[in-house]
Copies of this chain bind each other. A is one copy, B any other.
Amino acid sequence: VKRASALPGEFEIISRYFAPLASGASGAFGLLDDAAVIAPSPYHELVVKTDAIVEGVHFLAGDPPGLIARKALRVNLSDLAAKGAIPRAYLMDVFLPERVTENWLAGFTRGLARDQEEYGIHLIGGDTNSTPGPLTVAITALGEVRVGRMLRRGGATVDDWIYVTGTVGDAALGLAILRGALPEPAAADMAFLTDRYRLPRPRVSLGPHLIGLASATIDVSDGLAADLGHICDLSRVAAVVEATRLPLSAAARVLVGANPELMTTMLTGGDDYEIIFTAPQAAVEPLAELARVHDLPITPIGRIVAPFAKSEGRVSVAGLDGRPMRFDSLGWAHF
């Protein structure tokens, strides 16, 4: 049963576009069998994560195919990084609307090839479907950690410092600009912020080094306030963050300077794909050294405290003016 489509048949698509992405992965059998095999390194276990992106929800319909592909992959790598795992491989289900052309597919797989090289991973399985719905990409990423050492959400204790990598809020500002909800800033800032939305920088090389230092970790995908809230929920603690300590990019600083209320967007907008984590005082020096070695800001933004009264929620943010910020919602919800 062949559907009308601008594309060649499924097996042709696999052999032309997807099979090359499996070349070099011994257990993938060139995508020519029904399944792949993978085993963790000695003394390690596999860390598995699946996350999907949907056109119009997680990316914009006109986004370049290579960037869509890399975002789909990187949102998963970001979770692996936050869990301290070293990425190994991934499987991918793609759902393609009829308008997709071979040219689009070539760009999509070039994006994947580029990231595979950057992160040292391979495609080891997948499924290609046509859909009357939005373009959708679901990826299952596999990484590895030493047995029992995966970083968790639930280990934060009172007096721990709260850290975040990189800068916060760039992607939320980028999306607001792309949606026309914010006036366009200067061209360079516009390019920087929208790129931060379109192309996450998962902290893959840093993540595994947080094992032994961080007490609780999560990647910032739903928004800093919401994701810090997840750490607090699982750790049964609360968090106090000072907005003045938040690491902001130069571009973000310009926009927030003109409109301090944007801080709410930046703390609840999501798509940062940085790692937010807690760590005890003893980790302060090693973390400063890690930041230096990785040439990446690792910024203390607050402290873990005893749980608040339930009505107050888990995360309290002192705004730029020193007064408590109020959020209608801590962050992105998928429904």
Contact = CB atoms under 8 A, between A and B. Distances in A.
Interface stretch (A62-70, A120-128, A285-293): A120-128
Contact of A40 (B29, B39, B218, B333): B39
Contact of A140 (B37, B50, B82): B50
Nearest to A39: B45
A129 B35 contact: no
A132 to B, nearest CB: 6
A267 to B, nearest CB: 14
B91 A147 contact: no
Chain A interface, DSSP helix/strand/loop, else mixed: mixed
Contacts of A33: 83, 150, 152-154, 234
Contacts of A10: 333-335
B47 A35 contact: yes
B134 A134 contact: no
A333 B9 contact: yes
A38 B332 CA distance: 29
Contact of A46 (B46, B127, B131, B152): B46
B132 A134 contact: yes
A36 B54 contact: no
A323 interface: no
Total copies of the chain: 2
Contact of A57 (B52, B129, B136): B129
B136 A136 contact: yes
A334 to B, nearest CB: 4
A39 to B, nearest CB: 4
Interface in A85-139: 85, 91-93, 95, 124-134, 136, 138
A128 B50 CA distance: 10
A48 interface: yes
A243 interface: no
A55 B198 CA distance: 29
A49 interface: yes
A85 B35 contact: yes
Interface in A218-250: 218-219, 234
Interface in A128-181: 128-134, 136, 138, 140, 142-143, 145, 147, 150, 152-154
A250 to B, nearest CB: 27
Interface string A1-44: 11101011111010000000000000101001111111110001
Given A47-B37, A51-B127, A32 B234 contact: yes
Nearest to A221: B34
6 contacts: A3-B335, A29-B152, A34-B83, A35-B49, A131-B136, A136-B136
Given A48-B91, A48-B125, A57-B129, 6 more contacts: A34-B82, A37-B48, A50-B125, A57-B130, A128-B335, A138-B138
Interface of A: 1-3, 5, 7-11, 13, 27, 29, 32-40, 44-52, 54, 56-57, 79-80, 82-83, 85, 91-93, 95, 124-134, 136, 138, 140, 142-143, 145, 147, 150, 152-154, 218-219, 234, 329, 332-335
- Sorted nearest first, the 3 A-B pairs with minimum C-beta distance are A133-B133, A39-B45, A93-B138
